């Protein structure tokens, strides 16, 4: 019996596909992407899925403004070192060739 609730991923709207492909990952697992220069930082106040959608649909005017305002940037060496030192939990999504990352600050470490 076929379920009427199943929608093949090819038929999903792009924003829903991006949302389904967003995952939590620790920084150490992202190191190879950073080393290739493919990690893009997205400020915590922005919606990661929305930004991924804007990049995927080439909304260059909005992206340029966000870059200008420092809300989107390549991950710097200093940021990468800080993330590495604490193996920072991240939210990440791939928009080829980039991996968009956003620190997941909801995880509170106990000391």
Q: Tell me the per-residue pLDDT of 26-82, one tens digit each, with 9 for 90 and over.
A: 999 999 999 999 999 999 999 999 999 999 999 999 999 999 999 999 999 999 999
Q: Which of 76, 54, 77 is nearest to 65 (CA)?
A: 54
**Cα–Cα–Cα angle for 94, 107, 43, nearest 5°?**
45
- Identify the band that residue 9 occupies on the pLDDT scale cut at 50, 70 and 90: low
pTM across the whole model:
0.81
Q: Above 50 in pLDDT, residue 10?
A: yes
Q: Span 4-20, mean pLDDT?
A: 68
How would you class 56 by CB atoms within 10 Å of its CB: exposed for 0-12, middle for 13-18, buried for 19 or more? Answer: middle
């Amino acid at each position: 019996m076929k379920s009427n609730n199943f929608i093949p991923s090819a038929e999903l709207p792009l924003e829903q596909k991006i949302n389904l492909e967003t995952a939590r990952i620790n920084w150490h697992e992202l190191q190879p992407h950073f080393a290739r220069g493919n990690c893009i930082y997205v400020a915590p106040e922005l919606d990661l899925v929305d930004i991924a959608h804007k990049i995927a649909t080439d909304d260059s005017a909005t992206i340029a403004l966000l870059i200008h305002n420092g809300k989107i940037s390549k991950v710097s060496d200093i940021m990468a070192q800080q993330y590495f030192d604490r193996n920072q939990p991240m939210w990440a999504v791939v928009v080829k060739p980039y991996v968009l990352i956003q620190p997941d600050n909801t995880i509170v470490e106990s000391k």
